[in-house]
C-alpha cells in the first residue's frame, strides 16, 4: 500500500500545510536532531543496506544505528568534544560514517564532511578553515592528515600513530550516559565547503532549520515513500549526497542503499536489478554512463522514480530513460546554500508534464524568480536573467552568509535582506517552467561535482615549473564538463608531454583524483582585466579557436 503523510493525502492546498508542519517539527523548543532522524522511528526498521565491493551486504536497523551512535557520542564527549565544536570525518559509505554523523549531532557538535577523493592539501584547508579539532577517518585516508598534528584523529581499526584513538574505543563507551542535545532553528549542525571561483572554498553553516527543507524535497521532489527502496548515488561528502541521500533517508524512514567502492556502471545495473530499487537519484554523468555501458538494454529494473541533479540533464538521456530505466528521469535544481529550489516533482500533487530542457517549477517553501541582469526587478517572460530567491516569501530559507567571510556573502545576499542570488542565469516561460542557461561565474560542473577553478590553480602554482595557471571547462560527452589547464611556465622549463603528465599527477595527488586537468595548454601570458582578474572566457575562446600550444 502506498502511504503518505496525512498532511499531503488530500488536495494540493495541503502541500502548504505540510510545509508549515515540517517547520514546526524542527522549530520547537527542545528539538533533537537525533530524535528527528533516528530515535522516533521504528527501531526494528532496516534503514540501510550497505553493499561491499566484494558482494557482501550489511543490514543496519534504526536500533543498531541508535546504539552505535550513542556509544560514539559518549566517546566524543569523553575526549572533550562540546556543543558547537566542529568534528570532521574522512570516511566512505558505511555504518561507521552514519554512526559518526548522528553521534556528532547527539552532542550538539557541528559535522564537517570531507570528500574522500580529496588530497591532503584540500583536506587540510577545509579542516583549518572550519576549526575542526577532531577528525574520524579510515586507515586508507590517514596519510592525508599528516599535516594536522594538532588535531585529535580517530581511526577505524588499529591506529598506526601513537596519539591516534581507535573508533572501536568509542564504540566501547557506556550507552547509558550518552548525551541528548536539544536545539532550535538556528543551531548549526553542518559546516560544508563549496567550491569558489576565486580564493579559498566557502564555508556554508547549515542550521537545524534546514532539515525541514531537506525533508520537504525528499517527500515532494523525490516522492520518497515508506515502501520504497531508495538509492542516492551521490557521495555524502557533498551537499546532494548528504542532504538528500543520508538525511532524506533518515528523516523519512525510507530504506536506502549505500554502495561502497568506485562507480562502475555494470555494477550499478546489477544492484538496481538485484535489489529492486524503486527510487533512484544520481548526477547526469551516472545516467550517461549507464546508457553507454554493456548492461544497457539487458536488465529489467523496478524503478518508480528517477531523479537527476548537479548539472543540466540532456534531452537524449531523458528520452532514453523512459525505455532504458522504465522511468523518465526528472531534472532537479538546488544549491548547497539552500535546498532543491526548482524541481520536476515526482509527488502526484505537484507533478506537471515534463518540458525538454526544463528544471521544472519552484519547490514548495521557495519563491524563485528570474531578475533582470542589471537590476533587482523581474525579467520579462522568456528573457534570460539572474536566478534568485525572494526571501520574504520563502519560509524554508536559512542561509545567513559564509562562515567568517562576509565579503563573499555580499554576492549571495542582497543588502536589504530581500534576495538570495544563486549565481546562475535562467529564463522562465509563460507556464512557470524554469530553464537553466549558464553560471554567471566560472564554476565547473563535472560529473555532478562543482569544482572551483581557483583551488586547482592554487595547486598547479605550487609546482616549480609553473609561473601562472588558469583552469577552464571543456564540454565532455560523459562527464558534462572536464578541466583544462592554461599554464605559463617559468623560464627554465619548456612544454612537453612528460611535463603535462607530471602536472596532471601533481593535481591528482595534492587536490583530488577526480579534478585533474585532462589537457594542459601552454601560454606565454594569461589575459587579465585591469584589476588583475584572469579572463577565463578569453582562454576558452583561444582554446576553441585552436590558437594554443599543445
Residue 123, pLDDT score: 94
Long-range contacts of 374-378 (CB under 8 A, 24+ apart): 376/414, 376/418, 376/419
For 317-339, what is each residue's pLDDT tens digit?
888 999 899 999 999 999 999 99
Query: How far is Cα 456 from Cα 157, in angstroms, rounded to an integer?
Result: 32
Find which of 1-5, 262-266, 407-411 is predicted with most confidence, using mean pLDDT.
262-266
CATH 3.30.300.30 residue ranges of the chain are 445-544
Residue 127: pLDDT over 80: yes
Answer yes or no: are the C-beta atoms of 209 and 185 closer than 8 Å: yes
For 169-192, what is each residue's pLDDT tens digit?
888 777 765 567 888 889 999 999
Residue 277: pLDDT over 90: yes
Q: Residue 70 class from Cβ within 10 Å (0-12 exposed, 13-18 middle, 19+ buried)? A: buried
Query: How far is Cα 141 from Cα 90, in angstroms, rounded to an integer?
Result: 7
Confidence of residue 546 (pLDDT cuts 50, 70, 90): confident
Answer yes or no: are the C-beta atoms of 467 and 490 closer than 8 Å: yes
Planar angle of CA 143, 145, 147, nearest 5 degrees: 110
Pairing of strands 480-489, 466-476: antiparallel
CATH 3.40.50.980 residue ranges of the chain are 62-205
For 284-316, what is each residue's pLDDT tens digit?
888 988 988 877 766 788 899 999 998 778 788
Residue 9: pLDDT over 50: no
Candidates 3.40.50.980, 2.30.29.30, 3.40.50.720, 3.90.1420.10; CATH matching 62-205: 3.40.50.980
Residue 493, pLDDT score: 94
CA distances to 94, 250, 500 from 48, rounded to whole Å, are 9, 9, 43
Answer yes or no: are the C-beta atoms of 44 and 61 closer than 8 Å: yes
Residue 535, pLDDT score: 78
For 32-84, what is each residue's pLDDT tens digit?
999 999 999 999 999 999 999 988 999 999 999 999 999 999 999 989 999 99
Residue 384, pLDDT score: 85
Q: Does domain 445-544 have CATH number 3.30.300.30?
A: yes
At which residue does the C-alpha cell 498532511 appear?
7
Residue 528: pLDDT over 80: no
Amino acid at each position: 500500500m502506498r502511504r503518505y503523510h496525512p498532511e499531503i493525502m488530500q488536495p494540493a492546498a495541503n502541500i502548504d500545510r505540510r510545509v508549515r508542519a515540517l517547520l514546526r517539527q524542527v522549530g520547537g523548543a527542545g528539538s533533537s536532531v537525533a530524535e528527528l532522524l533516528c530515535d522516533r522511528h521504528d527501531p526494528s526498521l532496516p534503514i540501510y543496506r550497505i553493499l561491499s565491493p566484494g558482494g557482501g551486504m550489511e543490514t543496519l536497523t534504526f536500533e543498531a544505528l541508535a546504539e552505535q551512535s550513542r556509544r560514539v557520542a559518549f566517546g566524543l564527549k569523553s575526549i572533550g568534544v562540546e556543543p558547537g565544536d566542529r568534528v570532521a570525518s574522512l570516511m566512505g559509505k558505511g555504518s561507521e560514517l552514519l554512526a559518526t554523523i548522528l553521534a556528532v549531532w547527539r552532542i550538539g557538535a557541528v559535522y564537517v564532511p570531507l570528500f574522500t577523493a580529496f588530497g591532503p592539501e584540500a583536506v587540510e584547508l577545509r579542516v583549518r578553515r572550519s576549526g575542526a579539532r577532531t577528525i574520524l577517518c579510515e586507515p586508507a585516508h590517514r596519510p592525508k592528515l599528516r599535516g594536522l598534528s594538532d588535531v585529535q584523529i580517530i581511526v577505524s581499526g588499529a591506529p598506526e600513530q601513537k596519539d591516534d584513538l581507535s573508533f572501536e574505543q568509542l564504540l566501547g563507551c557506556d550507552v547509558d550516559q550518552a548525551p541528548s542535545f536539544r536545539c532550535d532553528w538556528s543551531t548549526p549542525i553542518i559546516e560544508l565547503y563549496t567550491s569558489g571561483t576565486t580564493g579559498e572554498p566557502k564555508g556554508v553553516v547549515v542550521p537545524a532549520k534546514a532539515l525541514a527543507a531537506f525533508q520537504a524535497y525528499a517527500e515532494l521532489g523525490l516522492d520518497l515513500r515508506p515502501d520504497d527502496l531508495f538509492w542516492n548515488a551521490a557521495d555524502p561528502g557533498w551537499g546532494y549526497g548528504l542532504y538528500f541521500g543520508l538525511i532524506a533517508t533518515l528523516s523519512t524512514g525510507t530504506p536506502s542503499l549505500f554502495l561502497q567502492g568506485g562507480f562502475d556502471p555494470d555494477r550499478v545495473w546489477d544492484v538496481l536489478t538485484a535489489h529492486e530499487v524503486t527510487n533512484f537519484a544520481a548526477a547526469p554523468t551516472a545516467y550517461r554512463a549507464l546508457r553507454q555501458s554493456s548492461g544497457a538494454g539487458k536488465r529489467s529494473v523496478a524503478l518508480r522514480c528517477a531523479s537527476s541533479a548537479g548539472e543540466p540533464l540532456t534531452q537524449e538521456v531523458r528520452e532514453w530513460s523512459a525505455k532504458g530505466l522504465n522511468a523518465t528521469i526528472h531534472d532537479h535544481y538546488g544549491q548547497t546554500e539552500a535546498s532543491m529550489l526548482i524541481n520536476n516533482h515526482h509527488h502526484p500533487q505537484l507533478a506537471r508534464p515534463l518540458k525538454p530542457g526544463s528544471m521544472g517549477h519552484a519547490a514548495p517553501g521557495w519563491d524563485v524568480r528570474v531578475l533582470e541582469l542589471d537590476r533587482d526587478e523581474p525579467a520579462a517572460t522568456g528573457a534570460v536573467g539572474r536566478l534568485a530567491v525572494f526571501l520574504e516569501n520563502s519560509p524554508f530559507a536559512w542561509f545567513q552568509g559564509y562562515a567568517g567571510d562576509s565579503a563573499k556573502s555580499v554576492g549571495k545576499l542582497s543588502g536589504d535582506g530581500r534576495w538570495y542570488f544563486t549565481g546562475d542565469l535562467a529564463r522562465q516561460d509563460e507556464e512557470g517552467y524554469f530553464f537553466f542557461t549558464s553560471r554567471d561565474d566560472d564554476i565547473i560542473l563535472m560529473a555532478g561535482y562543482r569544482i572551483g577553478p581557483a583551488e586547482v590553480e592554487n595547486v598547479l602554482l605550487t609546482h616549480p615549473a609553473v609561473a601562472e595557471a588558469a583552469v577552464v571547462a571543456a564540454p565532455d560527452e560523459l562527464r558534462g564538463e572536464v578541466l583544462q589547464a592554461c599554464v605559463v611556465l617559468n623560464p627554465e622549463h619548456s612544454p612537453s608531454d612528460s611535463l603535462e603528465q607530471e602536472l596532471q599527477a601533481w593535481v591528482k595527488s595534492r587536490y583530488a583524483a577526480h579534478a585533474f586537468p585532462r589537457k594542459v595548454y601552454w601560454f606565454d601570458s594569461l589575459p587579465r582585466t585591469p584589476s588583475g582578474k584572469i579572463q577565463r572566457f578569453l582562454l576558452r575562446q583561444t582554446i576553441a579557436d585552436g590558437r594554443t600550444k599543445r
